Amino acid sequence: MKTSRRDFIRLAGATGLAWTLPAYVSAAEETPVLRLGVGADLHHDIVPDGAVRLAALIAASKEMRAHAVVQLGDFCQPIAANLPLLKQWREAGLTQIDVLGNHDMDGGSTPENTAKWMGLQSRYSTQVLAGYRLIILDGNERRKDIQVKGYARAISDEQLDWLKRTLALDTLPVVVFCHQGLDGIDGGIVNAAQVRTVLEDANRSAGGARIRLVLTGHHHLDYLVQVGGIPYLQVNSFSYYWTDKKSAGGRFPAEVEQRYPYLKQVLVYDQPLFAQVELTSTGGKVLGRKAEFVGGYGPAQAQIPLTTSGHAVTPFISDRKW
């Protein structure tokens, strides 16, 4: 099955909200409530309809009256051709959270240069929003004591010290954002245990569950795990699951596959995936989205494992409560 641009627009426009606004907004929000629209791994340089997928997240975030809209990294390369996408994002009309992903440095950029291109003041940062302290980490650092091949995926001692100081600023509930997984998943932050120790220490110091949620992308998977009493939500990609096996193609028009050659190496979702998250003093919930693999070309057809790190390869983001 080939998917035309018209089909992409139709599918992306169907935001599929299952919650009405009153489910998000109480008459008087006496306890802190935080609403986030969250997308991860758009990979605008790999898929032909990145702008449409991004527009769907923005529209849904406005509908839910999100306090902020979040992109968890692997947004796009910092090149002139992607300035229209950046402009679309910056003109969303919502508070924005930007996380740097490893592929945001593709083409020879550095985290510092990509942050500057995106208009960010720093690679990692913090802000207070709706009574929550939001902490954005940069997982694209290297450590001398832990060598990894390929992309950098560590948190430096300097950033760890900054995290400790940031957590000591107040006693507000905390949400942490990082591109790569922090729950211990293979291929995630190599010193994730150190980061978790800092977060768990903050919980103990507060005498309760101060760290309300850790949000990550990078792995293109859909799961929620509790580690050390902290929920870690992995947000599936807006767009696809990667496979090293190159297909024969034919799922998209020939001219599209010629312009976007990596389409033959990805299992593309026929609708944009993103999460709508609500946090309260008693827990949280996620409204997800479901899609299908374009052309029915999924893990079985690509002859790749149906799971990775114990989690299923799926074209959806699950609804959840905790």
HEC secondary structure over the chain: CCCCHHHHHHHHHCCCCCCCHHHHCCCCCCCCCEEEEEECCCCCCCCCCHHHHHHHHHHHHHHCCCCEEEECCCCCCCCHHHHHHHHHHHCCCCCEEECCCHHHHCCCCCHHHHHHHHCCCCCCEEEEECCEEEEECCCCECCCCCCCCCCCCECCHHHHHHHHHHHCCCCCCEEEEECCCCCCCCCCCCCHHHHHHHHHHHHHHHCCCCEEEEEECCCCCCEEEEECCEEEEECCCCCEEECCCCCCCCCCCHHHHHHCHHHHHEEEECCCCCEEEEEECCEEEEECEECCEHHHCCHHHHCCCCEECCEECCCEECCEEC
**Span 5-12+31-321: which CATH code?**
3.60.21.10
Q: How far apart are CA 256 and CA 222, in angstroms?
A: 28
pLDDT tops 50 at residue 27: no
41: confidence class by pLDDT, cuts 50, 70, 90: very high
pLDDT tops 60 at residue 79: yes
Place of tokens 């997984």: 181
Which residues, 6 or more positions from 269, have their beta carbon under 8 angstroms from its beta carbon?
237, 238, 239, 240, 291, 292, 293, 294, 315
R_g of the chain computed on alpha carbons = 19
Q: Which residues, listed in sequence order, are joined to residue 226 by a DSSP beta bridge?
A: 231
Structure tokens at 141: 């650092």
The mean of the pLDDT values for the chain is 92
pLDDT tops 80 at residue 56: yes
pLDDT in tens, 82-93: 999 999 999 999
How long is the chain?
322
Tell me, what's the pLDDT at 28? Answer: 37
The Cα-based distances of 268 to 27, 148, 272, 314 in angstroms read 41, 29, 10, 11
pLDDT in tens, 169-199: 999 999 999 999 999 999 999 999 999 999 9
The stretch 189-217 carries a mean pLDDT of 97
Q: How far apart are CA 56 and CA 162, in angstroms?
A: 34
Tell me, what's the pLDDT at 19? Answer: 40
Q: How far apart are CA 141 and CA 102, in angstroms?
A: 10
32: confidence class by pLDDT, cuts 50, 70, 90: confident
Q: Which residues, listed in sequence order, are joined to residue 96 by a DSSP beta bridge?
A: 69
Sign of the Cα pseudo-torsion (208, 211, 213, 216, in order) = negative
Q: Is 272 exposed, middle or buried (0-12, 13-18, 19+ CB in 10 A)?
A: buried
Contact (Cβ atoms closer than 8 angstroms) between residue 248 and residue 280: no
Place of tokens 């980061």: 195
The stretch 267-279 carries a mean pLDDT of 98
Q: How far apart are CA 82 and CA 176, in angstroms?
A: 27
